[in-house]
Amino acid sequence: MFINATRGLIAATVLGVSAVAAQAQDFTPENPECIAPANPGGGWDFTCRQVGKELQDLGLIDKTMQVVNVAGGGGGVAFAEVVNKRADDNDLIVAASSATATRLAQGAYPGNTTDQVRWVASIGADYGVIAVSADSEIETLPQLLDMIKADPRSVSVAGGSAVGGWDHLKVLIAASAYGVEDVRKVKYVAFDGGGEAVTQLLAGSVQAFTGDASEAKGFVDSGDIKVIAVLAPERLEGDFADFPTAKEQGVDAIGANWRGFYAPAGMSDAAYDAWAAKIGELYASDEWQEIMANNGLAPLDLQGAEFEQFVTDSVSEIQNISREIGIIK
Amino acid sequence: MDVLANLGDGFAVAFTLQNLGLALLGCFLGTIMGALPGLGPSNGVAILIPLAFTLGLGPTPSLILLTSVYYGAMYGGRISSILLGIPGDEPAMMTVLDGHPMAKKGMAGEALSLSGIASFVGAFIATWGLILLAPQLVKIALLFGPAEYFALFALAFATLGGVSSTNQAKSAFAAMLGLGLAMIGVDTQTGVPRFTFGEVHLYDGLDFLVAIVGLFALSEVFIFLEHRHGGSDANSGQLKLGRLTPPLSMIKQCTPTMLRTSILGFIAGVLPGAGASLGSFISYSMEKRLVDKEGTFGKGDPRGVAAPEAGNNAAAGGALVPMLALGVPGSGTTAVLLAVLLSLNITPGPLLFAQNPDVVWGLIAALFIANFMLLALNIPMVGIFTRVLMVPPRILMPIVAMVSFVGIYGISGSSFDLLVMIGFGVMGWALRKLDVPLVPIILGTLLGNTMENNLRRAITIDNGDWFTLVDSPLALTLWAIAIIGFVMPLIVGRLVRSKMHERGDEEGSITD
């Protein structure tokens, strides 16, 4: 009796939570497919595979999600393929992140724009950090930015993305929020991935590191690097709770590397709503919260129209900074 | 000793029926994947990830399966290098230089089994290096800043002249061509696309797998087509297998080579970004400088087979060091393995050895087991592999063409890559006619980007001061070796050339 009642209660709660979603659940993708716009092993590949596995484990899709790697052009090849060849595919979602938005904003996907696809949902965000090596004299973000202000040549900042990429923009957002006048003078050195950049920080080749919280996690745990600012609206949970945000140090800068999905523009509304609801439900599950915690992902819970708005806003923000530093005209 | 006790625990983890079965399966699949031109270790591992996940394997069994595939592919790459003159993957490129001539001389069996032994030695030494030195080795990686990396790559290219023995100028030309091809794509230091002509497929640059398969495999097919009416069938009919095991004297002759190159390859593997290709490349050219007194390298010298194979397998083990200890992959394959670790909720990094000892030591034990299995698998299987040589070219060549197209399309799913591959095939055919060696082209394409990026990083960090390149003792040492390696052959070569002259040029262009 008691057990049955509890079960009923749980079922009711679940139903209640997903009441909005329930209408959209009529649609179930027949052959769910996720395009990872990069080679196996990267963040986009991870996004597709983890989400595909969890959606199936939670029973939100019947069949195994097929993951297809369409590498090339920093995601541009996949974007062009979705726009040109798969425009009305209801079974398809594509992994995306801030990098996608950055490239769209800077026109790095020739001829493609944000509104050529439908933005489905986010699955979390990786907030930016600025770090120095553990034995550095620099203790706070303003201290670092003062040094840059006084002599931009004295500080090299290393990051894992190309010039104009997201890691670079994060430093510039912080520098410009602090009142560094010509952000173009900030010396940024591009490495192949955050891991290599941290290694060079430890080797002493560069003075500061800009990257995502998840990239820095292992080195923070081991005490090799010191995070001087987290570019989040408020302090992160867990291991990063000790580190101050840029905001509390008087630098109003936020940099979130979000992860999420887009879908073809011609996807039917029913399918679009269903995908958004399914990923929303996945996001709310305990399993996903655990995956987020393990991978250093912070909350960012947006679906459907809200997410669409979020992406559009962040694209125009990136466009403004890029124009300021002369990456685009 | 702590280490031995830990290793014992590792073996306890690895010695279950399931894990041994997985290791065997991984070794077998890996060898096949390595042998197929185009399918290298990184793709092999990537393809099997879903298998590991769908089987619902835990972290240690998954890792055992995937690292067995990794080691297996490193072994397998040599097979098509030796038998067909088409490298099975990038690191096996240098094995073509002496392995294929050996097969042509009727010593295919010896070449295969000798390279199997060399692979074993390299991997075995590297695994011990991983056990004993992993924590300390991280410090080596930290000695290398951008300037030192640039010096290291300059060293690799300075000693390149010796790799292709026919004509220094032609091999320099080939290297330049490769470096030029590496420029294609978005420049990471400025974000500006170069030589892409607005074609989004070119933004990431040329995929060197496509380049290798085009240059080596397709051009082979073109050459065959051209000679179809000639006597090429008759020619290859003469290929003899030779004995299946190398004579003891050959092993003895190669032992110092194997030991030296294992250590060299291991160090190259430890450096993030250098990887197995650089390992086999440096091993071969250094060994040639050191022991090639009679000018037999490039003409089927067993030491020329042992050197790159020991080197690249040692580098494969070495590349695991920065991945496990720093979370920084030393090669493409370890990048894929890193992703697997992450999705199994294991964060590689400075604390991995303390936090997940069962995973680390299980993995290391698995490496030992895989290595012995591969040796045991490879020696008796030599006979099967060499049967490939018996297949007449009119059947073999269409198969090579088919595998090339299917392989490349299977990996990238892009017809654009197929066109690029055909372009490389035509280029390879033309260059072979002109006697230009192909290996330096691939090396240029493969290493050019990293070399350029490190140069520019070094210069940016020091505000445009070029003297930063010779600013540390390590960089100076590397430059010194590079200069000696470049100049020595010019001086010594003159002396040797008079002797060489008697031998004549009967070998022609087989060095490619």
Q: What is the CATH number of the domain that holds A92?
A: 3.40.190.150
Residue of B66, B149, B187, B203 to mutate, interface with A, max A Cβ within 10 Å: B203
Contacts of A313 (CB under 8 A, 6+ apart): none
Q: Per-residue pLDDT averaged across B291-315, rounded?
A: 84
Lowest mean pLDDT among B33-37, B230-234, B396-400, B487-491: B230-234
- Place B235 in a pLDDT band, splitting at 50, 70 and 90: very low
Q: What SS3 state is found at B205?
A: coil
User: Is there a domain that residue A15 lies in?
Assistant: yes
Are residues A263 and A121 part of one domain? yes
Name the average pLDDT for chain B. Answer: 78
Q: How far apart are CA B288 and CA B294, in angstroms?
A: 10
Lowest mean pLDDT among A191-195, A250-254, B18-22, B368-372: A191-195
Question: With an 8 Å Cβ cutoff, are B198 and A110 in contact?
Answer: yes
Q: How many CA atoms lie within 13 A of B170 on its CB side?
A: 17
Q: How many CA atoms lie within 13 A of B217 on its CB side?
A: 32
Give A 168-187 residues with CB within 8 A of chain B.
187
pLDDT at B388 over 80: no
Which of A249, A270, A303 is the C-terminal boundary of a domain? A249
Are residues A46 and A75 part of one domain? yes
Which spans in A224-303 are helix H?
269-284, 286-294
- From the centroid of its chain, how far is CA A88? 26
User: Can you give the residue range of the structural domain that contains A237?
Assistant: 128-249
- Taking CA atoms, what residue in B is nearest to A35? B413
Q: Per-residue pLDDT averaged across B21-37, rounded?
A: 84
Are residues A153 and A101 part of one domain? no
DSSP A245: B
User: Is there a domain that residue A329 lies in?
Assistant: no
pLDDT at B502 over 80: no
Q: What percent of chain B has pLDDT above 90?
A: 5
| Contact residues, chain B, for A76 at CB < 8 Å | 200, 203
CB B287 within 8 A of CB B307: yes
pLDDT at B87 over 60: yes
**Most distant CA atoms of chain B, gap in Å:** 68
First to last CA, chain B: 49
Lowest mean pLDDT among A144-153, A185-194, B245-254, B390-399: B390-399
Q: Please classify residue A218 by burial: count the beta carbons closer than 10 Å to its beta carbon, then call 0-12 exposed, 13-18 middle and 19+ buried.
A: buried
Q: What is the pLDDT of residue B161?
A: 59
The helix, strand and coil proportions of chain B, stated in percent and rounded to the nearest 5, come to: 75, 0, 20
Contacts of B495 (CB under 8 A, 6+ apart): none
Q: How far apart are CA A315 and CA A169, in angstroms?
A: 12
Where are any strands of DSSP class E within chain A?
33-36, 66-69, 92-97, 117-133, 156-159, 187-190, 208-212, 225-230, 256-264
Contacts of B448 (CB under 8 A, 6+ apart): B178, B179, B181, B182, B183
Q: Which residue has the higher pLDDT, B237 or B1?
A: B1
Q: Per-residue pLDDT averaged across B465-488, rounded?
A: 83
User: Is there a domain that residue A29 lies in?
Assistant: yes
CB B61 within 8 A of CB B25: no
Q: How far apart are CA B74 and CA B434, in angstroms?
A: 31
Contacts of A323 (CB under 8 A, 6+ apart): A329
- From the centroid of its chain, how far is CA A61? 24
pLDDT at B471 over 70: yes
CB A317 within 8 A of CB A169: no
Residue type at B125 in one-letter notation: I
| Interface size between A and B, measured as CB pairs under 8 A | 137
Which of A232, A249, A266 is the C-terminal boundary of a domain? A249
- Chunked mean pLDDT (size 10), chain A, 329 residues: 44 43 63 85 79 88 85 83 90 92 88 91 91 92 93 90 86 88 87 81 90 82 88 83 90 89 93 93 91 81 92 90 79
Q: Which helix (H) or strand (E) holds B185?
A: strand B185-186
Are residues A281 and A242 part of one domain? no
Residue type at B296 in one-letter notation: T
Contacts of B222 (CB under 8 A, 6+ apart): B425, B426, B428, B429
Tally Cβ neighbours within 10 Å of residue B235. Answer: 12
In Å, how far are A67, B6, B285, B382 from B78, measured between CA atoms? 31, 33, 18, 12
User: Is there a domain that residue A137 lies in?
Assistant: yes
Q: What is the pLDDT of residue A6?
A: 45
Q: Per-residue pLDDT averaged across B424-433, rounded?
A: 91
Q: How far apart are CA B335 and CA B347, in angstroms?
A: 13
Question: With an 8 Å Cβ cutoff, are A72 and B200 in contact?
Answer: yes
Are residues A260 and A241 part of one domain? no
**Encoded tokens for B470:** 């010779």
Q: For A41, which of B145, B273, B338 is closest by C-beta distance? A: B338
Are residues A73 and A61 part of one domain? yes
Question: With an 8 Å Cβ cutoff, are B272 and A45 in contact?
Answer: no
Strand partners, A189: A158
Residue B412 touches chain A, beta carbons under 8 Å: yes
Number of H helices, E strands in chain A: 12, 9
Residue of B496, B490, B471, B512 whose CA lies nearest to B150:
B471
Residue A84 touches chain B, beta carbons under 8 Å: no
In Å, how far are A159, B129, B189, B336 from A162, measured between CA atoms? 8, 34, 6, 21
Are residues A144 and A30 part of one domain? no
Q: Which residue has the higher pLDDT, B351 or B465?
A: B465
Q: For B204, which of A73, A221, A294 is closest by C-beta distance? A: A73
Task: Write phi, then psi, for B423 (nearest 5 degrees).
Answer: -55, -45
SS (H, E, C) B434-495: CCCCCHHHHHHHHHHHHHHHHHHHHHHHCCCCHHHHHCCHHHHHHHHHHHHHHHHHHHHHHH
Are residues A303 and A212 part of one domain? no
Residue A163 touches chain B, beta carbons under 8 Å: yes
- Taking CA atoms, what residue in A is nearest to B354? A222
Q: What SS3 state is found at A234?
A: coil
Please state the ipTM of this predicted complex: 0.73
Are residues A96 and A70 part of one domain? yes
Residue B178 touches chain A, beta carbons under 8 Å: no
Question: With an 8 Å Cβ cutoff, are B412 and A224 in contact?
Answer: no
Residue of B61, B163, B38 whose CA lies nearest to B425:
B38
Are residues A219 and A286 part of one domain? no
Q: What SS3 state is found at A37?
A: coil
Which of A214, A249, A284 is the C-terminal boundary of a domain? A249
Are residues A261 and A283 part of one domain? yes
Rg from Cα positions in chain B: 22
Strand partners, B194: B185
pLDDT at B334 over 80: no
Contacts of A227 (CB under 8 A, 6+ apart): A129, A130, A131, A216, A220, A240, A243
Q: For B46, which of A40, A222, A295 is closest by C-beta distance? A: A40
**For residue range B169-207, what is the model confidence (pLDDT) as tens digits?**
787 888 889 889 989 987 877 777 888 887 878 887 887
Report yes or no on whether pTM surpasses 0.90: no
First to last CA, chain A: 69
Give B 146-165 residues with CB within 8 A of chain A.
146
Specify the pairing of strand A33-36 against strand A66-69.
parallel
Q: What is the pLDDT of residue B272?
A: 64
Q: What is the pLDDT of residue A210?
A: 93
Q: What SS3 state is found at B31?
A: helix
Q: What is the pLDDT of residue A248?
A: 92
Number of domains in chain A: 2
* Residue A193 belongs to domain with CATH number: 3.40.190.10
CB A131 within 8 A of CB A144: no
What distance in Å separates residue A252's CA from the closest CA in chain B?
A: 27
Q: How many CA atoms lie within 13 A of B357 on its CB side?
A: 12
Residue A195 touches chain B, beta carbons under 8 Å: yes
Q: What is the pLDDT of residue A11?
A: 45
Specify the pairing of strand A225-230 against strand A156-159.
unpaired
Task: Write phi, then psi, for B186 (nearest 5 degrees).
Answer: -70, 130
**For residue range B335-345, what is the model confidence (pLDDT) as tens digits?**
777 767 766 76
Sketch the domain layout of chain B as residue ranges.
1-226+240-509
Q: Which helix (H) or strand (E) holds B193?
A: strand B193-194
